[in-house]
Structure 1
Amino acid sequence: MDADVFGVLLAHAFPDRIAKKTSKRWKMSNGGAVEFHHSSVPSNSDFIVVLDFSASKYGHYIRHYAELSESQVDEYLSDLVVTKESVTWSSQKQSPVAFVETKIGELVLEQKPIKVNFSEQQWQKVWLDYVSQTGLKSFGANEKKIQVWLTKLAYITNSVKGTESETSSKAQSWPECSVEWLMDNTEKWLSPFLDNVRSLPQLQKLDVITMLNSLLTWEQQQQLKTWFPSHYETPAGTRCKIDYSNTPPKISVRLQEMFGEPASPAIFQGKVALLIELLSPAQRPIQLTQDLAHFWNNAYVEVKKEMKGRYPKHRWPDSPQTELAGHSLKKKMPSK
């Protein structure tokens, strides 16, 4: 059989195996990529049909193939070629771009930029492509808020997995979200909020918590807010921000403001004890503990000896569990 005809016939038989060279690799119409091993003689043809390749951790290497010329593609494979307009985000230009693409499957044969007035649907695709390429960094400073939301939800879903009670079975409707899930399901939580977004600053100013909470029922939203508060109020009345980026969640507080608290405070219905970073009067870290009762009964004795010498004007009582919380300085506390 004529080798030229052989390539055309194979292309019709295996349209997902048509490949075009891009740099050292050959991009295939099925979206994959292969290459010639350094010990092989590479093809100089415009296109090839990949019949067989070997897959290993070092790469996907072409074993058998048939050659195709560009003229053959134009003349004999026109029924496989699709031309359409496409809109996406250009990471190089940091802006949306539109173009006409000629493709066989996922293999781009030609791409020409065009000028268009973006429709609402095209703008939506631009931002979905951008988020898909960039990940959570797309949301700028709001990335941290998303990570915190995911962390809170992970505590719930992990708790559900670890118990078989009737209450937990009702809670199994909580979505098991992750960064990967969010990236794969942007249409569910992001698309409905993109109608008026026309710039990166607008994208990064979106209310990400409202967007993510749209995945939850109203009851779940209230539970999430109650179970995982933003702050912890110390016995002294100070509001300490809970750092959910830490595992376990952490607060930083002056030691004297925890007087009167016999055991570690906990969130999520008492299931997760906060990690407490106890600070000196100068706001320097003294001790990390997730078991405040153990700290008072053990390590505090040595901390008291050391700190009393450094800060003699401050309170270092023998029974911190029953001491009145409040100011660190002795003279600022009301006399008993």
Structure 2
Amino acid sequence: MNLPPIAHIYDDIAKAMGHHQNLVLIAPPGAGKTTFVAPKLLSEKWCNGRIILLQPRRLAAKMAASFIASQLGEDVGHNVGYITRLDKKTSPQNRLIVMTQGVFRNMLIDDPELHNISAILFDEVHERGLDNDFNLALCLQVQSVFRTDLRILAMSATMDGAGFAKILGDAPILESQGKAHRLNHHYLGRRGELSIEDDIILAVKRAMMDHPNQGGIGSDMLIFLPGVGEIERTAERLSAIYNAEQFSILPLHGSQSPQEQKTALSADKNGRRKIILATNIAETSLTIDNVNIVIDSGMTRRPRFDRQSGLMRLSTERASMASCDQRAGRAARQMEGHCYRLWEKSGNGGLLPLEPAEILESDLSALMLDCAKWGEADPSLLDWLDAPPRAGLDAARAMLYALGAIDQNGGITTHGHNIGALPLPVSLAHMILLAATSGQAEQAAILALILQEKRLNGGRDDLEYGFASAKNNKSSYAQSALQMAKNWAKIATSLVDAVSPKLPLAGLLAQAFPDMVAKKRMGDDPKYISAGGKEYRLRDGSAHIGADWLVIGQASGRASSATILSAMAIDETALISCCAGHFTSKTEVNFDQGSGKILAVEQQYFGQIKLNRRPIQKIDEADSLSIWAKLVKKNGIEIFNWDDKGRAFLARCAFAGLDQVSGENLIANMDAWLPILVENKKSLDQIKSHDLINAVRNILSWDEGQQLENLAPAYFTPPAGGEYAIDYSNGDPSVTLRVQACFGLKEHPLLGVKKIPIRLLLTSPAGRPIQTTLDLPGFWQGSWHDVAKEMRGRYPKHAWPDDPTIAIASLKTKKALNRN
């Protein structure tokens, strides 16, 4: 038996694990860390229980278990078992169990002391999945509180060794060399004018030319693409070029059935050359026989959580250098290999060195609930490689509280415990539990299944169709998945009582996620507004085009333009039956700019969706006052119809130094005058200038009123009698009046204690200006003689005395004055 390269340092590994709780192991692809180290550790003195080997993916877990068992000369299920979400092979005799991170998380929370477990081996830790980081944080707490004898081993080919060593208590780091198979890198560059699929085709042709098939030995290709769409389009192009009798073109991704994945990984029965088109599912932990050519697009899809919309979206991004090295390593695991990269060599420097931690970009609701179940209300107190962001924790806490899964203090509730009992995302477990109250847990469980397993939904965005398609699917994969759904339903049914009336299928989804109920906007555009206030749109060709109401099961994208991936149509009657409490009405009072009136309507809502509205005649005074206050705050006191008298009053107050009547202070202290002004008034037309003056006067004290009259009187009375309005608008007082009204004045008129002269705008009998003066005696003694001479010719009927200081002040003609 040929030993893998890592065997050469196994004694060092055994020694380190014997003397330390934790160890970091760095070994390149093909060194044997996954399949050699774990079974060897079973024979160490400290290992008197089981070893758990954690894998990031279901396919990798099953393949690792199968390979290790075959190396031991036995079938899976004896000493070696595996557990994934959809499948397991275990027995009481298992000493080594390979499992996915999510399965281990649930096991760990249910058994925090990890009874009969001697070691946890974290494989491919460089991927930094959320479950991986969370499980590591929990295991470290288990070590410190319950199990000082528990061993933790972190393994990868491309990890941040120093970072992991630090979080593992300054654990030792061991490195192993890989197999001595040469790996050749070929940098092809990226042709920006071509699609990624067409660029891949050119790379395949280049690789075929460089490495023609030679007896089928070392000739298969593994091509890395970011997603299923790119895989399908590339497969279609390749099938048109390469003869199916000579080439087998096979997809490999996570949404395939186990049998489909097995076909992609197995040697072709007809000896054809294989071209495997894969997502990052094939990046780690897999040795695919006969592959010595890798073509790497350099792209990957990463989940990103948009906290504004509350949605996960898949973002196509450049892969990290660590991922690219992992991909390249697939080519040289059995022989000399070649990796063709669709970028320039200089582009390596622009790649992220390591994969970003998923915890920084994920929905943290499941983590928050698991922590509450664990007994830790604040996840940030755990030891993390990268601490979860506070904004993400706050959003998760708010969601869980809204679902009733945690209380105000972050403690887990009965409903939260029930959610945690189901091995599902929080929202889907919540849906099944609610459905169990109407005896429909199994229906909801199947719905939850197809929301997670795309290959069971019938390939459409109609969940009703997908539900029927899944129930009628007779494949072994579907039957296994449906049995799992039945198990979920059984658990949920045992936890709650069936006390509610049955609902239609769409009603089950709406009841659980009322915020995802959406109504079509007006017009032909397939846009919807949800009860949660987000906008969504249907894809072209959707089965739901024209539907008035939808319950959205899945969506992707940002808050402003999320795309509906799956949904169910629902009518308003059914919506009322399942979500009656979400139909509300609210009186809305607003100012209508066009009419200048305050109008009130009763607006009906479903969540934040506006429905029907009807006008309300009687408007509450408090609501009305609130609208007037907002208008004044926004537009100032100019919003009202101030006439000349009103503006003159404000100018007088300003001249008298009454700052509290300034526009700025009136806005700041509107409580003192606005209620009086707008009482029983609902339109601008109802508010007259005298109302404004009286309301503003109300804020002046008696002394301030006297100050106003003394310092800035409204009128000036000349010797001829009568009241002439004093204009304060330009900052100094002025009066316009006929010159005859001022006869007899020997001194210039002054205002108040400050003796401020009034600017006199003197006019002729026809009202035409003849003089403006701040010095009336000077005018009499100066230019009056010339003015009077000219005016006698124009207005001979009126008095134009030589000495106006001793003349009778009168606006009458000389004849009328003589009669009197």
Range into which the TM-score falls when normalised by the shorter chain = 0.5 to 0.7
Aligned to 1:91: 593
Contact 1:252 1:278 in 2 (8 A): yes
Alpha-carbon distance change, 282 to 326 in structure 1, aligned in 2, over 3 angstroms = same
How many equivalent residue pairs? 255
Q: Is 1:241 aligned to residue 742 of structure 2?
A: no
Output the amino acid matched with 1:242.
I
How many Å apart are 1:111 and its aligned residue?
5.9
- In the other structure, the counterpart of 1:126 is 627
Are the equivalent residues in 2 in contact too, given 1:88–1:130 (CA < 8 A)? no
The residue aligned with 1:4 is 305
Aligned residue in 2 for 1:29: none
Contact 1:89 1:129 in 2 (8 A): no
**Structure 1 residue 252: Cα displacement:** 2.1
Does 1 or 2 have the higher relative contact order (CA < 8 Å, sep 6+)?
Answer: 1
Which residue does 2:647 correspond to in 1? 147
State the alpha-carbon separation in 1 of the partners of residues 604 and 304 from structure 2. 30
| Pair 327,297 (structure 1): closer, same or farther in 2 beyond 3 Å | same
Say if 1:87 and 1:125, in contact at 8 Å, map to a contact too.
no
Q: Kindly report which structure 2 residues correspond to 1:13-32, keeping only aligned pairs within 5 A, or say none.
A: none
How much has 1:145 moved relative to structure 2? 3.4
Shift of 1:324: 2.5
Identity %: 29
Counterparts of 1:226 and 1:111 in 2: how far apart (Å)? 58
Structure having the higher Rg:
2
For residue 261 of structure 1, report the CA deviation from its aligned partner. 0.8
CA distance in 2, matches of 1:318, 1:268: 31
Equivalent residue number for residue 758 of structure 2: 274
AA of the residue aligned to 2:625 = Q
Report the 3-state secondary structure (helix = DSSP H, G, I; strand = E; otherwise coil) of the residue aligned with 1:68.
coil
* Residue 121 (structure 1) shift: 0.7
Whether 1:230 and 2:748 are equivalent positions in the alignment is no
Give 2:597's aligned amino acid: S
1:90-138, CA deviations, whole angstroms, 9 ceiling, x for partnerless residues? 2135332446699xxxxxx766655444212112223334444554454
Are positions 1:217 and 2:701 aligned together? Answer: yes
Evaluate the alpha carbon distance shift between residue 189 and residue 315 of structure 1 in structure 2; reply closer, same or farther with a 3 A threshold. same
Task: Give the AA of the match of 2:727.
Answer: D
> Alpha carbons of 1:186 and 1:130: their partners in 2 closer, same or farther (altered >3 Å)?
same
| Amino acid corresponding to residue 91 of structure 1 in structure 2 | Q
Q: Which position in structure 2 is the counterpart of 1:286?
A: 770
| Structure 1 unaligned blocks of 5 or more | 16-44, 48-65, 73-82, 103-108, 158-173
Residues 151, 244 of structure 1: 8 Å contact kept = yes
Indicate conservation of the 8 Å contact 1:231/1:242, yes or no.
yes
Q: Is the 8 A contact 1:266 1:274 kept in 2?
A: yes
Describe the shift of the 1:308–1:221 C-alpha distance in structure 2 as closer, same or farther (beyond 3 A): same
In structure 1, distance between residues paired with 2:596 and 2:390: 37
Deviations 1:57-95 (A, max 9, x none): xxxxxxxxx9535669xxxxxxxxxx9764221213533
The answer as to whether partners of 1:276 and 1:290 remain within 8 angstroms in 2 is: yes
Structure-2 change in CA distance of 1:69 and 1:304 (3 Å): closer
User: Residue 281 of structure 1 contacts residue 328 of structure 1 at CA under 8 Å; is this kept in 2?
Assistant: no
User: Residues 111 and 213 from structure 1, CA distance in 2 versus in 1: closer, same or farther, beyond 3 angstroms?
Assistant: farther
The verdict on how the C-alpha distance between 1:187 and 1:206 changes in structure 2, with shifts beyond 3 A counting, is: farther
Shift of 1:287: 1.2
Work out the CA distance in 1 between the residues paired with 2:307 and 2:754: 71
Deviation readout 1:143-178 (Å, 9 max, x if unpaired): 433322221222222xxxxxxxxxxxxxxxx54432
List aligned pairs for 1:139-218, cutoff 5 A.
139-140=640-641, 142-157=642-657, 174-204=658-688, 207-218=691-702
The change in CA–CA distance for 1:143 and 1:311 in structure 2 (over 3 A counts) is closer
Contact 1:251/1:276 (8 A) holds in 2: yes
Q: How big is each residue's C-alpha offset from its partner over 1:1-36, in whole Å with a ceiling of 9 and x where there is no partner? A: 733357667894799xxxxxxxxxxxxxxxxxxxxx
Query: In structure 2, do the counterparts of structure 1 residues 333 and 126 end up closer, same or farther at CA, with 3 Å as the change threshold?
Result: same
Contact 1:136 1:143 in 2 (8 A): no
CA distance in structure 2 between the aligned counterparts of 1:205 and 1:313, rounded to whole angstroms: 40
Structure that is richer in strand per residue: 1
Cα gap change, 1:299 to 1:178, in 2 (>3 Å): same
Separation in 2, partners of 1:225, 1:306: 39
CA distance in 2, matches of 1:210, 1:257: 32
How far, CA to CA, are the matches of 1:114 and 1:309 in structure 2? 73
- The 1:11/1:306 distance shift into structure 2, 3 A limit, reads farther
Residue of structure 1 in register with 2:740 after alignment: 256
Pick closer, same or farther for the CA change 1:11–1:189 going to 2, 3 Å. farther
One-letter identity of the residue aligned with 2:620: S
- 1:93-112 correspondence runs (5 A): 93-98=595-600
- Deviation (angstroms), 1:212: 0.8
| Secondary structure in structure 2 of the residue aligned to 1:2 | strand
Q: TM-score, normalised by structure 2?
A: 0.28
Aligned Cα root-mean-square deviation (Å): 3.8
Give the 3 Å change call, closer, same or farther, for CA 192–70 of structure 1 in structure 2: farther
Instruction: Give SS of 1:325's match.
Output: coil
Displacement of 1:225 in angstroms is: 2.7
Any idea what the Cα deviations from partners look like across 1:153-210, whole Å, max 9, x if unmatched?
22222xxxxxxxxxxxxxxxx5443223323432221124433224433333662222
Structure 2 residue 554 is the aligned partner of structure 1 residue 68: no
Equivalence for 1:301:
785
Work out the CA distance in 2 between the residues paired with 1:70 and 1:196: 45
| Cα distance in 2, alignment partners of residues 94 and 333 from structure 1 | 53
The 2-side partners of 1:131 and 1:333 are apart by 53
Q: Is the 8 A contact 1:249 1:275 kept in 2?
A: yes
With the length of structure 1 as denominator, give the TM-score of the two structures.
Answer: 0.61
Partner of 2:796, secondary structure, is coil
Q: Is the 8 A contact 2:677 2:695 kept in 1?
A: yes
Aligned position for 1:54: none
Deviation at residue 306 of structure 1 after TM alignment? 1.8
1:88–1:125: 8 Å Cα contact kept in structure 2?
no
> What code does the residue aligned with 2:652 have?
K
